[in-house]
Amino acid sequence: MKIWVSGASSGIGKAIVNEALAKGLSVVATSRDAKKLQLLSNELNSGALVVSQCDVSDSKSVEEFYKKTFSSEGPDALVNSAGITVFKNAAETSIAEVDGIIKTNLLGSVYAIHSVLPSMISKKQGTIINISSVAAIKVLKGSSIYSATKAGLLQYSRVLREEVREHNIKVIDVLPGATETPIWDEKVRNRHKDRMMKPEDVAAFVVELLTGSGNMVAEEIVLRPVTGDL
């Protein structure tokens, strides 16, 4: 199985790459940060790993990457893990920050999905996993735009899922709660890391979803620390 993981240079995306390789999958890992991708490649040193710079917030970047990397046959699975945010109230969030979050979290996932769908439809199989957030379903102050992008992606997935059932394509949304990744400020991570989930644990769960067989699919999954949200 060949999978494409976006946002692969850190956090949950990086952990998914590591776990997928450990389970014998072939991985194409993308990020907008070429230096971090090279470090990832050097660290994992696997012949089953291909790294490629791709800014999912830019539709042309996605299109060029896809044509160069996959040619006529796309990946068996896509994991949308690229995501950014700022922890600010709506009135304090700049338009530049609003645009960046929407383009990466919502449009970036849509662009990636749009690129893989023709091949998956042609093959009559495929899996799309969106790493969303509990922010899609819960009110979290200081995360208005982030929450809007995750809620938008969740609803997009729900419609897409119904449209591609006939093509045997699985669309899965994973909504993690607080996870110890660089999306959080270092001070916050240090203060709450004992209550946060580990990206490696989320990754193990996601790869299990990817490698499952049969016609059963878990469509929307909420993952939270046992102690609940922060």
Q: What whole-number distance in Å separates Cα of residue 137 and Cα of residue 151? A: 7
**pLDDT tier for residue 213 given thresholds of 50, 70 and 90:** confident
- Rounded to two decimals, what is the model's pTM? 0.95
Angstrom distances, CA of residue 191 to CA of 140, 182, 185, 194: 19, 14, 10, 8
Residues 128-159: tens digit of each pLDDT: 999 999 999 999 999 999 999 999 999 999 99
What residues make up the domain containing 145? Answer: 2-223
Q: How many CB atoms lie within 10 A of CB 46?
A: 14
Q: Within 13 Å of residue 192, how many CA atoms lie on the same side as its CB?
A: 18
Q: Is 158 inside any structural domain? A: yes
Q: Is 101 inside any structural domain? A: yes
Residues 30-71: tens digit of each pLDDT: 999 999 999 999 999 999 999 999 999 999 999 999 999 997
Residue 193 has a pLDDT of 84
Residue 21 has a pLDDT of 98
Which is the catalytic residue, given 66, 111, 146, 156?
A: 146
| CB-based contact 42:29 (threshold 8 Å) | no
Q: What is the count of structural domains for the chain?
A: 1
Q: What whole-number distance in Å separates Cα of residue 154 and Cα of residue 158? A: 6
Say whether 146 is catalytic: yes
Q: Is 230 inside any structural domain? A: no
Here the CATH number for the domain that contains residue 128 is 3.40.50.720
